[in-house]
Chain A
Amino acid sequence: MIKKTACLLLIILQIFLLSGCWNYRGLNEMSVVIGIAVDKAPDSGNYQLSFEITDISTPIKDKGVQSKIVESEGKTVFDAVRNAKKRIHNKLYFGQTQLVVFSNEIAHSEDFSGVIDWFLRDGELRETICVVISQEKTAREIISSKGIGQSIVSNEIRQIVETDEDATASTSAVEFYQVFNILRAEGKSLTLPEIHNVVNNDETVIEVNGTAVFKENKLVGYLTSDESKSFLFAIDEIKGGVLTVSSEGDDRDDISLEISKNSTKRSFDFKDDKINVSIHTDTTVFLDEAMVHNNALDDKQTAALEDAAAAKLENDITLVIQRVQSEYGSDIFGFGNMIYKKDFRLWNQLKDTWDEQFIALEVDVSSDVHIVNTGEIEKS
């Protein structure tokens, strides 16, 4: 008898237990946030957040998923996140967030590791979110512009940034957890992709525009797209992109080489209290475009072209290193980190004066370029 009662009671209990979680949330009760833009109100100093959320009220069938913007303001980032609840009846859901845009104003004036803290601490956000810096006046302008390929611009930005190093090599993608690591790493400074707005077919759209350079916790400047490519060569992160050279040795580049493979070897030696860093790049390219008449390349011509490309690459890399040294003084190449990883005792001696040492650092760059094919055409 007791057993039967127990079973019955258990079955009845299941009704309550299996009906859901303690605090369940249905899909209709949450707004899925895809992108977040973080700005700062100039007068009050409050954080202004804009969320790009999916709009599930319009039919998806005709136009695809549309997005809406929700804005909010608060004294801290999380305060602003919760204040959004005043404007929208649903609670924001961050499990699908793809992108966070920071305005250059915030990155310039504030401790960046403080601003990103909430994004890492909150359990709902993923650590693999893409982080970018807006070059426009506010970050909001970036996520309120139109995407060309996708109606949700945050998704599009993330995909552009993530596939960038394979195709155009104009910036270096960094995920959120890496930001945390790099800000705490020895002898390495942070770089983030930067985005600006351009006009395309009469509409404002976004474009990746090089790399933002940080020193310690603050933004100090930008590298252009071309400089970013050389930067990627220097840190061995390049996986694709185009290298243009001149066949005549003048300023007019007329030959395009597509980068197929690259490996960069970096080393240092310590002599007479001076650090010398050498960088050697070894690149395999395809000749993809020759805007001049030429015959089928023979060994000599190939070698000459390879040398010209290598010389140009060496020059470009040296220039970007020199510019970073003289203008920003921030070790974005991670030379200090290389020393730390290979010889931490030496690094402990250098650590305190690394900023000055980095500026005075001598870097030898040498490059090898190998052309392995010339596309479908033998001569033109």
Chain B
Amino acid sequence: MQKEMISARQMFCIIIMFIFGSSVIMGVSSGAAQDSWMSLLLAAVFTVPMLLIYARIIKLFPEKNLFEIIEMLFGKIAGNIIIILMVWYSLHLCALVLRNFSEYIQIVSMPETPQLPIMIAMILVVVYMAKSGIETMGKWSIAMLSAVFLVVIITILFSLNKMDFTNILPFMENDFKSIAAGAFRLYAFPFAETVLFLCLADAMKKKDSPRKLYLYALLFSTVVLLLVILRNLFMMGPGMVGASYFASYVAVKLIDVADFFARIEGFISMNFILAGIIKITVCLMAAAKGTARLFGINNYRKLLLPVSLLAVALSAIVYKNVMEMIDFLRFYTYYAVPFQVIIPLTVWIAAEIRMHKRKLA
């Protein structure tokens, strides 16, 4: 089978869409009220060293994905354990995002529809996308990123008349500790989740610099997320932002230009679905690739459907209710550390040692 390859620009768009995923709609919760924009900037700074490590791993083993690298470095047994962990993480993340979706749809638009059909409809689209391959996904994200970006800009422009810019005052009311705590939360969700792109790295061309790619994507998505945070804050004030589950949705609901241009919150749902599909697809692809590697199957596409159904099953039982979903964000920061930091770090150190040895020899 011919290997799929995508261009740097497509990868860039996929990474950005992935970071937007659920955060554009969840309104990036950090718990630091009007100072959450500082948390966001701080989180972006925290993310840079981690991204450099991810990029370095990709650079050291061009056109290989994380699972292949792990197997190469740690051998069969230790390698398989790490692979299982990564597969679990991507599967779990896939389920979490899927659940975010169905909860959102149930709360804001279809309270009487059970969540399962919504999840199934969603995952079938995702499987179709994943089966079409990463190239299709890359082309699709280039087109859709502009749509997502346009929606953000439009909602900001039309909400200008209702914005109260003093909502951002007072500065630094929260001490540095709580801002940093918020920053770590944002670091774990969504920034460092980009670790999953290591699993898709075999589609990247050798000549493209992964470091540049990662950093530009981080910059772009930070700027857009900052705009989103500030829009929500200026529109609603810190109290309402903290109180709503889906802050962006509520903020856009308030838009009303001369009784004529109103009720455009459907746009936000569109954003969520477009970016969310990419996020779920990436998670699913990573999970399927990992499973395929684990059992020595060459073509991961054959496993997409059963793995995706596993994700649906997991997301159906993962939370009891929406309160638990929001509460879990608190624990997610800790839970994600092994997958986002420890495993990549180990892989990186092992890789550097191996490279060094090879140079000596």
Contacts and interface: CB of A to CB of B under 8 A. Distances in A.
B170 interface: yes
Contact of A344 (B109, B170, B236): B170
B323 interface: no
B111 interface: yes
A177 interface: yes
A21 B113 contact: yes
B52 interface: no
Contacts of B237: 178, 181, 185
A334 to B, nearest CB: 10
B166 interface: yes
Given A127-B253, A177-B240, A343-B170, A22 B114 contact: yes
A375 to B, nearest CB: 28
Contact of A342 (B107, B108, B109, B169): B169
Interface string B159-182: 000000010011001000000000
B110 interface: yes
Contacts of A180: 239-240, 243
B111 A340 contact: no
A126 interface: yes
B113 A23 contact: yes
A175 B235 CA distance: 12
A181 B117 contact: no
B254 A128 contact: yes
B256 interface: yes
A22 B170 contact: no
A341 B170 contact: yes
Contacts of B96: none
Given A23-B112, A341-B170, A181 B253 contact: no
A16 to B, nearest CB: 12
B128 to A, nearest CB: 13
A312 to B, nearest CB: 29
Interface in A156-180: 175, 177-178, 180
Contacts of A177: 236, 240, 250, 254
Contact of A127 (B114, B117, B173, B250): B250
Given A21-B110, A21-B113, A181 B239 contact: yes
Contacts of A341: 166, 169-170
B170 A123 contact: no
Given A127-B253, A177-B250, A344 B239 contact: no
Contacts of A123: 107-109, 111
Contacts of B111: 123
Interface in A295-349: 340-344
Interface string B97-118: 0000000000111111110010
A300 to B, nearest CB: 40
A184 interface: yes
Interface string A180-194: 110011000000000
Interface string B228-247: 00000000110110010000
A343 B171 CA distance: 9
Contacts of A343: 170
Nearest to A23: B112
Contacts of A21: 110, 113
Nearest to A126: B253
B187 to A, nearest CB: 26
A201 to B, nearest CB: 28
B181 to A, nearest CB: 19
A344 B173 contact: yes
A272 B139 CA distance: 67
Contacts of B112: 22-23
B254 A127 contact: yes
A51 B114 CA distance: 30
A127 B254 CA distance: 7
Most buried by A among B112, B114, B166, B170: B170
Contact of A184 (B108, B110, B114, B239): B239
Contacts of A23: 112-113
A178 B236 CA distance: 8
Contacts of A127: 250, 253-254
B107 A22 contact: no
B256 A342 contact: no
Contacts of B169: 341-342
B231 to A, nearest CB: 14
Contact of B170 (A178, A185, A340): A340
A126 B256 CA distance: 11
Nearest to A95: B263
Nearest to B114: A22
A340 B170 CA distance: 7
Nearest to B171: A344
Most buried by A among B110, B166, B237, B250: B237
A123 B170 CA distance: 31
A149 B153 CA distance: 38
Given A177-B250, A343-B170, A344-B173, A185 B239 contact: yes
Interface in A118-162: 123, 126-128
Contact of A22 (B113, B173, B253): B113
A160 to B, nearest CB: 14
A9 to B, nearest CB: 14
A341 B256 CA distance: 27
Contacts of B243: 180
B236 A181 contact: yes
A349 to B, nearest CB: 14
Nearest to B172: A344
Contacts of A344: 170, 173
Contacts of A340: 170
A-B residue pairs, 9 tightest by C-beta: A341-B169, A22-B113, A344-B170, A184-B239, A23-B112, A181-B237, A181-B239, A344-B173, A341-B170
11 contacts: A22-B110, A22-B113, A22-B117, A123-B108, A127-B253, A180-B240, A181-B240, A184-B239, A341-B166, A341-B170, A342-B169
Given A22-B117, A177-B254, A181-B236, 8 more contacts: A22-B112, A123-B108, A123-B109, A127-B253, A181-B239, A181-B240, A341-B166, A341-B169
Interface of A: 21-23, 123, 126-128, 175, 177-178, 180-181, 184-185, 340-344
